[in-house]
Amino acid sequence: MKVITNTKIIKRNKKIGQITSIVSLLILAGGLYLSMYKTDMLIYSFVALIAGFLLSQVGIYYGSRWGKSPRPDELISASLKGLEDKYDLYHYSLVVPHILVGPAGVWIISPYSQGGQITYDETKGRWKQKGGNAYMKIFGQESLGRPDLDIRAYQQDLEKYLTKELDTDQHPEFNSVLVFTNEKAKVDAGNAPVPTIPVSKLKDFIRKKAKEKAKDYEKIVELQKILPHEEKE
């Protein structure tokens, strides 16, 4: 398996996370100082505290995804280690963050770091999370959100990319898989419309799909030829 990673984006986003975290702390400290010692400037204190909090959320967002190791891309690569050379794994190199192209087909891999019990509610058409760290859900941005909307957006983005940037509409079918990277996640969503699995089972899942024989394999090979094959730094 060949791994193509845009390390430039990873380094840039890691730096953004570090800078915004430091600046947010300075702003929060300034707001606290004003509230304690400059009572005639309470309005500025309030504004500083709000701005500092919002900026801290930006820092948390970037830091959790690119600032600490193992990152989502590292966990996905490790889980797929050992796949044959016919596979190409892309991290931040295409319009979709993580995509695997090879004998099993074209797979958009959507990683989630949430812990707890992961299930799918068919009546509401939603993935659900029970348990996990309540503090991190509120302040650490670890709520599950709407994977269905993420999937739809990725599918649309990849369609546009291939049609406009690579000038081809003769592409193979896209598939999506939700992968939970948290060791404490217990995934029980076999009824979900999109495969939902722990990262530890990703390689077995891909190998199983390869045995089922991917549709349009000739188109998959042609797609691999026109996609970038060099790591970006």
Helix axes 42-62, 7-37, angle to 10 degrees: 160
The answer to whether residues 79 and 111 belong to one domain is yes
* Span of 20-29, 84-93, 133-142, 194-203 with lowest mean pLDDT: 133-142
The answer to whether residues 128 and 186 belong to one domain is yes
**Residue 232 resides in a domain:** no
Domains contained in the chain, number: 2
The last residue of a domain, from among 39, 67, 95: 67
Q: Provide the residue range defining the domain that includes 182.
A: 72-226
The answer to whether residues 87 and 199 belong to one domain is yes
Q: What is the pLDDT of residue 176?
A: 96
Residue 191's contacts (CB-CB under 8 Å, 6 or more residues apart) are 120, 122
The answer to whether residues 87 and 55 belong to one domain is no
74 neighbors 111 (Cβ within 8 angstroms): no
User: Can the peptide bond before residue 193 be classed as cis, meaning omega within 30 degrees of 0?
Assistant: no
The answer to whether residues 109 and 49 belong to one domain is no
* Span of 41-45, 71-75, 129-133, 159-163 with lowest mean pLDDT: 129-133
The answer to whether residues 54 and 147 belong to one domain is no
CB neighbourhood size of 107 (10 A): 23
**Residue 222 resides in a domain:** yes
The answer to whether residues 60 and 77 belong to one domain is no
The answer to whether residues 47 and 87 belong to one domain is no
* pLDDT range class, residue 134, cuts 50, 70, 90: low
User: Torsions phi, psi of 176, nearest 5?
Assistant: -130, 145
The answer to whether residues 111 and 36 belong to one domain is no
Residues of the chain with pLDDT > 90: what percent? 63
**Residue 233 resides in a domain:** no
- Name residue 186's beta-bridge partners: 117
**Residue 91 resides in a domain:** yes
The answer to whether residues 48 and 142 belong to one domain is no
The answer to whether residues 154 and 212 belong to one domain is yes
The answer to whether residues 148 and 50 belong to one domain is no
